[in-house]
Structure 1
């Protein structure tokens, strides 16, 4: 069973880590030269949307 996080500082750290991970994935996808497929475009949009959601959660916690 997964224990829930106990304090808001650790939750903020988790969000920051997730955002950094998504940012590195975004750089990996964008680094590829050439044509971008529709799947790549949708993936980039989904990653950016998730990063925006994480950012809003971090701003709410401040």
Structure 2
């Protein structure tokens, strides 16, 4: 089954929703402060990089 193509407005909405989801994940990981493992640090850095990429895509669409 083929997915319908997203128009510009719905694509921006999808990016905003993804960014909000990543932000919630980041808060969940950061909530457990204390001794963070190397994997947690890498995960946090990956989430922040993805959020920065989404932000650049949103700015480009404006």
* 1:59 and 2:53 matched: no
Structure 2: give runs of 5+ residues left out of the alignment.
Answer: none
Q: What do residues 20-54 of structure 1 show as CA deviations (whole Å, max 9, x unaligned)?
A: 00000000000002100000000000000000000
CA distance in 1, matches of 2:50, 2:4: 21
SS in 2 for 1:57: helix
CA distance in 1, matches of 2:26, 2:2: 28
* 1:50 and 2:55 matched: no
CA distance in 2, matches of 1:50, 1:26: 11
Does the CA-based 8 Å contact 1:5-1:11 persist in structure 2? no
CA distance in 1, matches of 2:4, 2:51: 22
CA distance in 1, matches of 2:30, 2:13: 26
Structure 1: give runs of 5+ residues left out of the alignment.
Answer: none
- Could you say what the CA RMSD is over the residues aligned between the two structures, in angstroms? 1.0
Aligned position for 2:16: 16
